[in-house]
Structure formats: C-alpha cells, structure tokens
C-alpha cells in the first residue's frame, strides 16, 4: 500500500527517490519504523500517514517547539534517539540545524522531484533553501495581508487602502475617533513594515554562501520607519502587541477596523481571540508604496519538515516529508494555508464556503498575495525579530523612535551576523 500510494500520487517521484536511495526494494518487504518529533497540531497528520502506509510505522514524540534545537543537539552528541523526521515551527531552525556543530538535516535537492518543488507558491520554499540546498519542505505559508472589518469600513465610509500612503492617511483620519490600524510595537509586523520597500535588513546575497547584506541607512528603510513613528505618535498604531489584553479589548470593542497580519490571523487570532462575529471579516492584498509596481510582503511563521541526513531509512523519511507537505488529501484538512499550491487550492475551497467570512474571496486574496512574498524571507542562524524587539521596541516605551533606533539595530544585526558565521556586506 505504501509504495502504490507513492507512485500513484507523484508520478516520477517514486522513481527518483528509488534511484537516489537504494532502500526502495526493501520497503515492500520489511516494515519500517520512523521516529518523528512533532508539535501538537501536526499529530493528526502524522497519524493519517501511519494509518495509510502499511509498511511504515511512525513513533511520534511531541516536542515543545522551543526545545527542538537543544534536544536535537543533545541527541546528536549522544548518538542516540535521533529522530528520522521532524517538524520545525520556526523557519530559523533549518539554518540552525545545518551547521558544522548541528549538521542534522538531509539535503533534499535531488530527492524531491523538481516538478513537485515547482508546485509550491513563489518563494514558498525560500526558508528551506540554505546555501543552495533544499533542506526542508514548507508546510504552510504565513505572508502578511490586510485584514479588515467589512461592515465597519463601509459604515465609516472608508475605502480599504492599497498603498502604505493610503494606510497612513486612513490612520490619521480614524485616530481622532479612537480607532487604530493595529500594532506598531510587535516585532514581526514592525519587521514587515520596515522591509516593505526593499530595506536590506539581513538579506541573503545571491551566489555567495553565508553572506548577507545589512544596510538600514537607505530611504527604503527610513521611509517606513518614519511612517510607523508618525502613526504611533497620532495613535493610529497602538503601543501594545496583538496578543496583549489591552489590544484584544480594543479588537473586541470594534476599535480596530483594519490591520496588517499574516494569513493565519483570520482563523487563529481574529476569530477565536478577538471574537469578531460572522459576517465581518474580509481580506485584501498586501499594501505597496506609491513608487512600487507591486507589493513586497514579509511573513510571520510557516512551519517546515526536515529529515535526518544519516537516517537508516532515507527513502521512507523523504517520502514522509514529501507526503506531509504535498499530499492534497492530507493538506486539505491542514490548520493553515498550505505552501503547496494544489493542496492550498483544495484547502481554500473549504474556506470559500465558510459563512464566517464577509467575503468569499478570502482564500483568493491569500493565494494571490503569495505572489508578492518577499524572497528574503529565509532561514538564518539568528533571530532578526528578537533583535528588533530588543533594540527598537524596548526604547519606544521610553520615548524613542523607530527611525532613531535604526543605527543601533544595524550594529546589533551586524554583530549577530558575524557572531553566527556570516559575511556582511
């Protein structure tokens, strides 16, 4: 059943895997057990694989996402209980698990057919490419879009902005009414705004391994920084994060008619936490600057699957990673927008029929917006968002500004990059 299902699903995939991994012949004869480390939301998906693949049994261990790297490092050092396949909730883990000290991940470049890789949305697997190698497969996308309260915007007589300039102007008009357009102090949304015009905030340099460009002195960085400062000053961006009680209270009270957020915000924040009732939530494409031809949108999250390079069962491990990220039937029930386009389209059909949304085109917006995903959203061995939280967000509480913090952020990021083995341009 295992081999038949694989061949039927991906055509040449089984052939390619078998050519590269000689364990294929054994797969039909001997039952294989794969040790898997997962987070809780993925358990049902691994369980489905186990039930539908007779020759493979999964021994799944739930590992807290924040503990994954340390536990892998300990297992590698002990040469014991090393998982064959893992789910990584943080895109940074791919780079952290492909170092000389933590050389865990298998190179999937030639093991996953190019045709299957091409079925992902543009830049969907960017966080999985490290120094030219495909080291993981993306589970879900998490790019930023515009979320808004459709009846509220109509009642206000306001159009949904399409540019950052319109976004700022809308904020100026609504702030006197006690309304806000989201947070200005949460690291990831702030990060997204700062790189929206092409700011070189730790961007990989094409063709140069372990090399990044860091330059926060250009207008492409200063312009969005000034926008955030102006909106924080007039109150159109809040000084509390989207998960803090004060923000949640504003959202529940209808004081945030529009905000920038990742694709998963609709299902997993606005609906359950902000408790917007059915018939209110709609989505729009990411914003662009007036002088841009199209948006450039950052992401906030999006998990990945990886396999152990020295696993005793490479064919089965690759098949599991591939199945988890690309099997349409499996991904249709995924909890967030799949990175694999055919899976996402099946997943989106469910979303289109969900009466909760005020607009049946929410999935279309999410899918169309994927084309504008920032190619610089890659895996790094250090956290840029943590640096933003430390160097930019903390001083805001004592009267600092985003623009004023950029020189210190440049120094912090440059030091972090060099400390983690990157060349900085």
The stretch 304-313 carries a mean pLDDT of: 97
181 near 174, Cβ under 8 Å? Answer: yes
Best CA proximity match to 285, nearest among 364, 365, 384: 365
Indicate the average pLDDT of the chain: 91
Give the CA distances from residue 236 to residues 16, 227, 232, 253, 259, in Å, rounded to whole numbers and listed in that order.
54, 11, 6, 16, 10
The stretch 132-155 carries a mean pLDDT of: 96
Strand-pairing partners, residue 304, are 88, 138
List all residues 6 or more positions away from 70 whose beta carbon is below 8 Å from its beta carbon: none
Which pLDDT value is given to residue 397?
A: 86
Strand-pairing partners, residue 148, are 258, 282
Burial status of residue 242 (CB atoms within 10 A of its CB: 0-12, 13-18, 19 or more): buried
DSSP-assigned letters across all residues of 83-95 = -SEEEESSTHHHH
**DSSP code of 268?**
I
DSSP-assigned letters across all residues of 30-92 = S-EEEEEEE-STTHHHHHHHHHH-TTEEEEEEE--GGGHHHHHHHHHHHT-S--SEEEESSTH
Separation of CA 11 from chain center: 28
Helix (H) or strand (E) holding 349: helix 341-352
Please compute Rg for the chain using Cα positions.
22
Instruction: Please write the tens of the pLDDT for every residue from 12-37.
Output: 343 344 444 444 444 445 789 999 99
Three-state SS at 194 = helix
The stretch 163-184 carries a mean pLDDT of: 97
Residues 182, 260: Cα–Cα separation, whole Å: 7
Place 349 in a pLDDT band, splitting at 50, 70 and 90. confident
What percentage of the chain carries pLDDT values higher than 90? 85
Give the CA distances from residue 367 to residues 27, 136, 312, 385, in Å, rounded to whole numbers and listed in that order.
37, 22, 38, 25
283 near 366, Cβ under 8 Å? Answer: yes
406 near 225, Cβ under 8 Å? Answer: yes
List all residues 6 or more positions away from 3 whose beta carbon is below 8 Å from its beta carbon: 14, 24, 27, 28, 55
Residues 11, 226: Cα–Cα separation, whole Å: 52
**Rounded to a whole number, what is the distance in angstroms from the first to the last CA of the chain?**
52
Residues 255, 314: Cα–Cα separation, whole Å: 52
* Poorest-pLDDT segment among 17-31, 100-114, 322-336, 351-365: 17-31
Place 240 in a pLDDT band, splitting at 50, 70 and 90. very high
Residues 131, 172: Cα–Cα separation, whole Å: 44
256 near 179, Cβ under 8 Å? Answer: yes
Which pLDDT value is given to residue 14?
A: 39
Relative to beta strand 133-134, strand 129-130 is antiparallel
Phi-psi region of 341 (alpha: psi -120 to 50; beta: other; left: phi over 0): alpha
Evaluate if residue 2 carries a pLDDT over 50: no
198 near 296, Cβ under 8 Å? Answer: yes
């Amino acid at each position: 059943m295992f081999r038949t299902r694989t061949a039927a699903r991906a055509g040449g995939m089984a052939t390619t895997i078998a050519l590269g991994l000689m364990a294929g012949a054994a797969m039909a004869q001997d039952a294989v057990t794969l040790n898997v480390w997962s987070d809780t939301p993925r358990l049902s998906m691994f369980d489905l694989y186990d039930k539908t693949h007779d020759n493979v049994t999964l021994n799944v261990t739930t590992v807290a996402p924040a503990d994954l790297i340390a536990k892998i490092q300990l297992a590698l050092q002990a040469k014991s209980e090393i998982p064959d396949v893992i789910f990584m909730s943080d895109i940074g883990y791919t780079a952290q698990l492909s170092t000389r000290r933590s050389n865990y991940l298998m190179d999937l470049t030639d093991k996953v057919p190019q045709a299957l890789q091409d079925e992902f949305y543009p830049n969907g697997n960017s966080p999985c490419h490290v120094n030219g190698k495909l080291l993981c497969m993306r589970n879900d996308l998490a790019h930023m879009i515009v979320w808004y309260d459709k009846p509220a915007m109509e009642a206000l007589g306001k159009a949904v902005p399409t540019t950052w300039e319109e976004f700022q102007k809308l904020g100026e008009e609504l702030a006197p009414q006690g309304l806000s357009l989201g947070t200005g102090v949460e690291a990831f949304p702030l990060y997204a705004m700062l790189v929206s015009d092409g700011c070189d905030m730790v961007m990989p340099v094409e063709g140069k391994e372990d090399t990044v460009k860091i330059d926060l002195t250009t207008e492409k960085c200063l312009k969005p920084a000034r926008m955030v400062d102006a909106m924080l000053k007039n109150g159109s961006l809040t000084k509390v994060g989207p998960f803090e009680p004060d923000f949640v209270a504003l959202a529940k009270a209808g004081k945030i008619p529009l905000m920038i957020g990742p694709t998963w915000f609709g299902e997993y924040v606005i609906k359950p936490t902000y408790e917007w009732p059915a018939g209110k939530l709609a989505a729009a494409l990411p914003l662009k600057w007036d002088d841009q031809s199209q948006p450039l949108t950052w992401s906030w999250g999006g998990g990945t699957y990886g396999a152990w390079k020295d696993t005793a069962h490479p064919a089965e491990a690759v098949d599991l990673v591939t199945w988890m990220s690309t099997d349409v039937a499996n991904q249709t029930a995924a909890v967030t927008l799949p990175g694999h386009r055919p899976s996402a389209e099946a997943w989106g059909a469910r979303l289109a029929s969900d009466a909760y949304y005020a607009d049946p085109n929410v999935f279309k917006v999410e899918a169309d917006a994927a084309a504008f995903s920032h190619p610089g959203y890659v895996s790094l061995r250090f956290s840029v968002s943590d640096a933003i939280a430390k160097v930019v967000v903390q001083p805001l509480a004592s009267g600092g500004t985003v623009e004023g913090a950029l020189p210190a952020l440049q120094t912090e990021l440059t030091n972090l990059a060099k400390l983690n083995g990157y060349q900085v341009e």
